[in-house]
């Protein structure tokens, strides 16, 4: 887990880099400079000794220069495949450098990991950027017509690219609650390498190609016999790979289905006697703090729980600090709490954590997933028993299912998770992939929820010099889970059934507990202890005269209503007061 930036096509002595990436790699720095290619790397030491893992790394045949951020979890198996198992003793970076030198980019499907790669081929004078299948690790670029700049974070381009905010992206954020996806960012001239994608720069031209397609993989698997037991085998393999580390590992735990199944499965893989430490976010207000439930589950299976409590007094300073690290607008209090969680873990000596992101998206964990599953069953006329179980579990009927599903499709999936506040948007409605459940799941995985959560969590954890690993987002695990049918995902009307079966083996009383929404005190604090801070931040934004007054009316409406549970509109304004920084939005 590291960070890097660089340029090709310009004398590096002419470029004044602002830096700002040392937090991503606090353990060492390195650079490569030759002709018109320059790469600067910052290393966070996870695997391999510095003398073997220093970057930028030159392949042993002096053909390629490698800078990379992330982990290749199956590096030992890759070294074995290349006929040189001893190579793995030097860490995953050396294995990756030799793998790319020998095979080029033709066998990327063999890599199991999270990675952002910059590979310069000395022979052909070609730079290639590669991002992992689901975009766990970030990678951005800027092309000024002659030179090609690239970096792990947008802040590296400040002073080089002349950053300008893309007004329509801010409007989408305010009106639809969505963040840029694909290659887009909040800035006009900064692009991100898309997940599962290679971007090549050669002779002044940029070409782009994909090396992995989740839809194609799901179609292939759907044509075979699938079993939840096989999913669990794949998850065990994923966890086993992600426990490879030369530094201590902790686990992020919320008490929910995903993190509980991951905790229990990790205990099985690692051994029940291994002393796992689970870190849990907590809040100072008891009425919105659920960390005691997480501690109860952990106590019952002999796992140590460490609560990290966020108080409202800490929010103003942490919010501004996180705005610097995120570069773009981010979610509210939960991400701020996540920053403090990672900071405490770093101070306690835990450099790596595993986390349960991906279970909801794989197995229909959100309410709108259940509605799309019911809509599929209504359209097909199949499996009436499952449809009846889902209707009962969600306290709804077929008329309501049809109404909500058609509105959700027409909106481009822009309603809240609880199916309130449908947002109208222009453009074509969603196009079905296989069925409507898998369609919205792929949307969440590649466009909506997973990309934004990964971005928020990468910046907050790397701000503390930490690495987060996601076993449920292993491409083999996620593809197989996505391919499972409605019956396997919603057996007996319960979503995420394969994960619940892991829990049932050890916590029979809680395996069928319905999904709980993530509860934070954001609304409570914005109405109370942070009200003045909110008013001050919104006033600063209003003074800049960069947004229409209609957006500020939301703030007035929020505070004029006796009961208002949705503080997202307020956070948007507070967030933009840090982000816009005087830039004009048309």
Q: Which two tokens stand for residue 17?
A: 């880099």
Mean pLDDT of 233-253: 96
Delimiting residues of CATH 3.40.50.620 domain(s) in the chain? 215-361+449-504
Strand-pair category, 277-283 with 304-310: parallel
What confidence category does residue 162 fall into, taking pLDDT thresholds of 50, 70 and 90? confident
Interhelix angle for 333-347 vs 449-462, to 10°?
A: 40
CATH hierarchy code of domain 2-212: 3.60.20.10
Instruction: Pick the closest to residue 40 from 59, 23, 14, 21 (CA basis).
Output: 21
Least confident of 126-130, 430-434, 549-553: 430-434
Are 8 and 43 in contact by the 8 Å Cβ rule? The answer is no
Let me know the angle formed at the C-alpha of 500 by 418 and 419, rounded to the nearest 5 degrees: 5
Instruction: Pick the closest to residue 232 from 505, 444, 34, 44 (CA basis).
Output: 505
Q: Which two tokens stand for residue 328?
A: 């773009």
User: Can you tell me the distance from the alpha carbon of 85 to that of 93, in angstroms, rounded to the nearest whole number?
Assistant: 14
Least confident of 27-36, 150-159, 285-294, 370-379: 285-294
User: Can you tell me the distance from the alpha carbon of 483 to that of 214, in angstroms, rounded to the nearest whole number?
Assistant: 10
State the pLDDT at residue 583.
61
| CATH code matching the domain that covers 215-361+449-504, chosen among 2.60.40.10, 3.40.710.10, 3.90.1010.10, 3.40.50.620 | 3.40.50.620
User: Can you tell me the distance from the alpha carbon of 585 to that of 542, in angstroms, rounded to the nearest whole number?
Assistant: 12
Share of the chain above pLDDT 70, in %: 96
Rg over alpha carbons for the chain, rounded to the nearest Å, is 24
Reported as type and span, the H/E element at residue 250 is strand 249-252
What confidence category does residue 518 fall into, taking pLDDT thresholds of 50, 70 and 90? low
Delimiting residues of CATH 3.60.20.10 domain(s) in the chain? 2-212
Give SS3 for 30: strand
What confidence category does residue 362 fall into, taking pLDDT thresholds of 50, 70 and 90? very high
Write out pLDDT tens, residues 43-59: 999 988 887 889 999 99
How far from the centroid of its chain's Cα atoms is residue 386's Cα? 32
User: Can you tell me the distance from the alpha carbon of 133 to that of 443, in angstroms, rounded to the nearest whole number?
Assistant: 14
pLDDT higher than 60, residue 172: yes
Q: Which two tokens stand for residue 490?
A: 């919603």
Are 38 and 7 in contact by the 8 Å Cβ rule? The answer is yes
User: Can you tell me the distance from the alpha carbon of 492 to that of 487, in angstroms, rounded to the nearest whole number?
Assistant: 8
Write out pLDDT tens, residues 432-467: 999 999 999 999 999 999 999 999 999 999 999 999
State the pLDDT at residue 412.
84
Q: Which two tokens stand for residue 115?
A: 């990675």
Q: Which two tokens stand for residue 404?
A: 């909500």
Mean pLDDT of 146-153: 94
Strand-pair category, 205-210 with 148-151: unpaired
State the pLDDT at residue 586.
45
Least confident of 52-56, 73-77, 129-133, 461-465: 52-56
State the pLDDT at residue 424.
65
Strand ranges for 447-574 from DSSP E: 467-469
pLDDT higher than 70, residue 582: no
Q: Which two tokens stand for residue 50?
A: 């510095």
What pTM was computed for the model? 0.95
State the pLDDT at residue 511.
80
pLDDT higher than 90, residue 218: yes
Instruction: Pick the closest to residue 32 from 51, 54, 50, 48 (CA basis).
Output: 54
Instruction: Pick the closest to residue 471 from 187, 306, 207, 236 (CA basis).
Output: 236
Q: Which two tokens stand for residue 32?
A: 């490569």
Between the alpha carbon of residue 377 and those of residues 7, 373, 381, 501, 567, the distances in Å are: 52, 6, 6, 24, 35
User: Can you tell me the distance from the alpha carbon of 104 to that of 313, in angstroms, rounded to the nearest whole number?
Assistant: 52
User: Can you tell me the distance from the alpha carbon of 409 to that of 426, in angstroms, rounded to the nearest whole number?
Assistant: 12
Q: Which two tokens stand for residue 233?
A: 């085998």
Strand-pair category, 191-192 with 148-151: unpaired
Reported as type and span, the H/E element at residue 191 is strand 191-192
Reported as type and span, the H/E element at residue 260 is helix 257-270
Which positions ≥6 away from 547 have C-beta within 8 Å? 174, 541, 576, 585
User: Can you tell me the distance from the alpha carbon of 96 to that of 77, in angstroms, rounded to the nearest whole number?
Assistant: 11
Mean pLDDT of 505-520: 76
Name the more confident of 560 and 51: 560
Name the more confident of 410 and 339: 339
User: Can you tell me the distance from the alpha carbon of 171 to that of 180, in angstroms, rounded to the nearest whole number?
Assistant: 11
The whole-chain average pLDDT of the chain stands at: 92
Mean pLDDT of 424-429: 64
Dihedral sign from CA coordinates of 576, 582, 585, 586: positive
Are 169 and 180 in contact by the 8 Å Cβ rule? The answer is yes
State the pLDDT at residue 359.
96
For the range 165-168, what are the long-range contacts, defined as Cβ-Cβ under 8 Å and sequence gap of 24 or more? 165/579, 165/580, 165/583, 165/585, 167/585, 167/586
Are 490 and 373 in contact by the 8 Å Cβ rule? The answer is yes
Reported as type and span, the H/E element at residue 446 is helix 436-446
């Amino acid at each position: 887990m590291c960070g890097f930036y660089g340029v090709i096509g310009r004398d590096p002595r002419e470029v004044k880099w602002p830096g700002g990436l040392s937090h991503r790699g606090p353990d060492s720095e390195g650079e490569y400079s030759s002709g018109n290619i320059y790469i600067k790397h910052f290393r966070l030491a996870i695997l391999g000794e510095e003398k073997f893992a220093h970057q930028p790394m030159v392949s042993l045949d002096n053909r390629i220069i490698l800078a990379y951020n992330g982990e290749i979890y199956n590096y030992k198996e890759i070294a074995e495949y290349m006929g040189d198992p001893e190579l793995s003793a030097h860490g995953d970076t050396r294995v990756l450098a030799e793998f790319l030198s020998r095979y080029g980019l033709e066998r990327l499907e063999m890599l199991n990991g999270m990675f952002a790669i910059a590979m310069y081929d000395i022979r052909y004078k070609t730079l290639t950027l590669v991002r992992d299948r689901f975009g766990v690790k970030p990678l951005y670029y800027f092309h000024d017509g002659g030179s090609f700049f690239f970096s792990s974070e947008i802040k590296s381009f400040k002073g080089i690219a002349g950053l300008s905010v893309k007004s329509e992206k801010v409007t989408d954020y305010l009106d639809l609650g969505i963040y840029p996806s694909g290659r887009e960012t909040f800035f006009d001239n900064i692009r991100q390498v898309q997940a599962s994608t290679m971007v090549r720069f050669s002779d002044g031209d940029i070409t782009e190609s994909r090396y992995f397609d989740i839809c194609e993989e799901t179609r292939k698997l759907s044509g075979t016999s699938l079993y939840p037991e096989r999913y669990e085998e794949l998850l065990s393999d994923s966890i086993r790979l992600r426990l490879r580390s030369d530094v201590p590992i902790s686990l992020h735990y919320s008490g929910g289905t995903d993190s509980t199944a991951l905790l229990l499965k990790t205990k099985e893989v690692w051994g029940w006697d291994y002393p796992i430490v689970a870190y849990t976010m907590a809040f100072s207000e008891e009425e919105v703090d659920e960390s005691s439930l997480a501690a109860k589950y952990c106590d019952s299976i002999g796992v140590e729980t460490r609560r990290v409590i966020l108080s409202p007094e800490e929010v103003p300073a942490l919010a501004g600090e996180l705005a610097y690290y995120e570069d773009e607008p981010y979610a509210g209090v939960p991400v701020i709490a996540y920053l403090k969680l990672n900071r405490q873990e770093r101070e306690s000596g835990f450099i790596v954590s595993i986390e349960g992101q991906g279970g909801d998206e794989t197995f229909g964990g959100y309410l709108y997933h259940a509605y799309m599953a019911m809509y599929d069953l209504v359209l097909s006329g199949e499996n009436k028993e499952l449809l009846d179980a889902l209707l009962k579990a969600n306290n709804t009927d077929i008329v309501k299912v049809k109404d909500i599903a058609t509105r959700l499709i027409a909106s481009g999936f822009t309603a809240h998770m609880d199916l309130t506040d449908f947002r109208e948007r222009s453009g074509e409605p969603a196009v079905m992939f296989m069925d409507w459940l898998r369609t919205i799941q792929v949307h969440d995985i590649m466009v909506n929820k997973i990309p934004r959560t990964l971005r928020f969590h990468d910046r907050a954890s790397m701000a503390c010099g930490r690495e987060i690993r996601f076993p449920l987002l292993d491409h083999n695990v996620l593809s197989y889970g996505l391919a499972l049918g409605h019956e396997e995902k919603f057996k007996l009307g319960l979503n995420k059934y394969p994960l619940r079966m892991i829990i049932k083996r050890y916590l029979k009383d809680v395996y069928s507990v319905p999904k709980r929404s993530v509860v934070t005190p954001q609304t409570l604090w914005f109405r109370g202890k942070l009200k003045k801070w909110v008013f001050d931040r919104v006033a600063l934004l209003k003074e800049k005269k960069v947004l229409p007054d209609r957006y500020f009316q939301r703030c007035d409406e929020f505070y004029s209503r006796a009961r208002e549970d949705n503080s997202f509109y307020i956070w948007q304004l507070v967030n933009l007061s840090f982000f816009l920084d005087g830039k004009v939005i048309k």
